Amino acid sequence: MKSFLKTTASWGMLFCVLAAIPPALPWSFQTGFASAQDLVSGLQGTAPRMVTFAISAYTDWHGAAISIAGGIGLLFLVATGSLKPAPWWRTLGIGIVGAAIITFTIIYSTHHWNHFPVRESGGFLAIVSSVGLLFIACLETRHLLERRAVGNADGPAA
């Protein structure tokens, strides 16, 4: 397990799993009546109770899109994670998945949030996971650039 957490591919897999799960968690809250039974008791002399319901991202298309992007990223990294050194197209794939997740989250937020989603754990975890994937892509880009710089430095002088 110690060697598993030493690669950018394994961290990318963890962030992809973390991105696929949040749409099932609360993304927004809506106020409404508690239940039909409370409404009946309200007719008997007590006022119906107002409660807050947690709404997941699956109530709209954004939740499925975020989960699918995270799942595709996970499968992509499982298939290509053992390649050493990381090829440029894997770095590009991780960046695209991270950008897609943050894009879907931003699109969802323009319709449902008026503030940063700290109370909405699903939205917060989606943002954290997409930033993590983009950070992994940046690290792999850095490794690619270092390899290229070392390769050019070892070559013949012009």
What does the pLDDT look like over 6-48, one tens digit per residue? 888 889 999 999 999 888 887 766 666 666 555 555 555 555 5
Please, are residues 129 and 18 in contact by the beta-carbon 8 Å criterion? yes
Of residues 70 and 85, more confidently modeled: 70
> Quick check: 151 pLDDT over 90?
no
Q: What is the pLDDT of residues 93-144, one digit of tens each?
A: 999 999 999 998 888 776 666 555 556 778 888 889 999 999 999 999 998 8
Predicted TM-score (pTM) of the model is 0.76
pLDDT at 36: 57
Helix (H) / strand (E) containing 50: strand 50-56
pLDDT at 113: 62
pLDDT at 121: 77
Please, are residues 122 and 57 in contact by the beta-carbon 8 Å criterion? yes
